[in-house]
Amino acid sequence: MGHLMELGDLKARAVEFERYTRLADELRQPFFQYIGASSRAMVALFEGHFEDSERFAQEALEIGQRMPGLDASGIFGMQMCSLRREQGRLKELAPLIAHFVQTTPKAATWRPGLALIYSELGLEDQARTEFEALAADDFAAVPQDGLWITCIAYLAEVCAFLGDAERAATLYSTLAPCDGRNIVAPPNVACFGAAARYLGMLAATMRRWPDAERHFEAALEMNARQGARPWLAHTQYRYAVMLLDRKGPDDRERAIALLEGATAIGRELGMAALVERADVLRQEIESQQGKPRYPAGLSRREVEVLQLIATGKGNREIAERLFVSPNTVANHVRSILTKTNTANRTEAAAFAVRNELLGK
């Protein structure tokens, strides 16, 4: 099952997993049942079913805590870190992990995760401190255990955040053999989608634009084919960032389309941090194009929806007016209420009036 997940053969893995869980239930052995629950948590997160993922992770923890010698708490912690990252809730975990790393001598495996959390929160100095400690001697400090490739993938993201082109070359060479596969935290902890996304980020950090584009296109295809919607959205966002850095003739338009795709998936799944980053990048693009900046971080499309809300139109009417689906409108409405800190459509309409958005 682990190999099939890494190869991206989800159909074959599903067949094997069904056989596995049937046998585990017949044998009633806690360890096999634990692997089953942990695997369900991994796949649910991989596909963007966050509530299901948390429920399965809790179930696995309850089973695992009854088995001495099994690090069920550590695996649960890794799964919850991955989940909270997608939900934009890493601030809840950063102090706990930092304390754990500082007070536990054997916690070196967690340091790449801590560096990733710092970069995700925009804490550049802290991220750089952790990254530099791990990058010495071509990342010799990273333990070469079962989680080694996961740690390298984490560090690839930190490297891209820091813009370290020299270390990007080392990490790129390390990850290159994984091209065409998924990055999996074994045995069934988490799957972070196509390795090509990480390779694209590293190539972009080195400003190797053709390689970056090739990897991002491959990651789009693989993540979409697998139904790995969170990782598809992350790929769309990072690809857009690369295109905006490259500044080719049609790169801006392509970047905008990718950001719209990432935002749509992110809002549907509840990927708060990704949606916020994508919105900020869209506003920067609009500002460069001489377009107005809107209050509360609203995008141009959200302002259009808000204007129609203020006139009393329902979601279906708005969808027909803007030539989008009612589901897309519902996602925009939820985002508007969140950004404007309003409880309902009436309060949102009042926000529009106060901020003089109806005439724009």
Indicate if 353 and 207 belong to the same structural domain.
no
Indicate if 135 and 284 belong to the same structural domain.
yes
Q: Name, in order, each residue with C-beta under 8 angstroms of 284's C-beta and a sequence gap of 6 or more.
A: none
Distance, CA of 87 to CA of 123 (rounded, Å): 18
pLDDT value, residue 104: 64
Query: H helices of the chain, where?
Result: 2-7, 10-27, 30-47, 50-64, 72-86, 94-103, 111-120, 124-139, 148-162, 165-175, 195-205, 209-226, 229-246, 251-269, 272-288, 300-310, 315-322, 326-340, 345-354
The 3 state secondary structure assigned to 267-292 is HHHCCHHHHHHHHHHHHHHHHHCCCC
Indicate if 282 and 306 belong to the same structural domain.
no
pLDDT tops 90 at residue 143:
no
Q: Which helix (H) or strand (E) holds 360?
A: none
How wide is the angle at C-alpha 79 spanned by C-alphas 18 and 12, nearest 5°? 25
Q: What is the mean pLDDT of the chain?
A: 90
Indicate if 77 and 221 belong to the same structural domain.
yes
Domain of 162, CATH number, reads: 1.25.40.10
Indicate if 172 and 299 belong to the same structural domain.
no
Indicate if 237 and 329 belong to the same structural domain.
no
Q: pTM for this structure? A: 0.80
Instruction: Choose the final residue of a domain: 237, 263, 291.
Output: 291
Indicate if 35 and 19 belong to the same structural domain.
yes
| Residue owning tokens 């001489």 | 290
Indicate if 30 and 154 belong to the same structural domain.
yes
Indicate if 251 and 104 belong to the same structural domain.
yes
Tell me which of 160-164, 174-178, 279-283, 302-306 is least confident: 279-283
pLDDT value, residue 101: 67
Q: Which helix (H) or strand (E) holds 143?
A: none
Question: Among candidates 328, 299, 79, which has minimal Cα distance to 187?
Answer: 79
| Termini Cα distance of the chain | 55
Question: What confidence tier does 103 reach under pLDDT thresholds 50, 70, 90?
Answer: low
- Structural domain containing residue 151: 2-291
Domain of 302, CATH number, reads: 1.10.10.10
pLDDT value, residue 232: 97
pLDDT value, residue 106: 58
Instruction: Choose the final residue of a domain: 291, 317, 334.
Output: 291
pLDDT tops 80 at residue 275:
yes
Indicate if 220 and 300 belong to the same structural domain.
no
Indicate if 193 and 139 belong to the same structural domain.
yes
Q: What is the pLDDT of residues 64-87, one digit of tens each?
A: 998 888 888 888 988 998 999 999
Indicate if 287 and 329 belong to the same structural domain.
no
What is the average pLDDT across 4-9?
Answer: 95
Instruction: Choose the final residue of a domain: 272, 291, 310.
Output: 291
pLDDT value, residue 9: 94
Number of domains in the chain: 2
pLDDT value, residue 221: 97
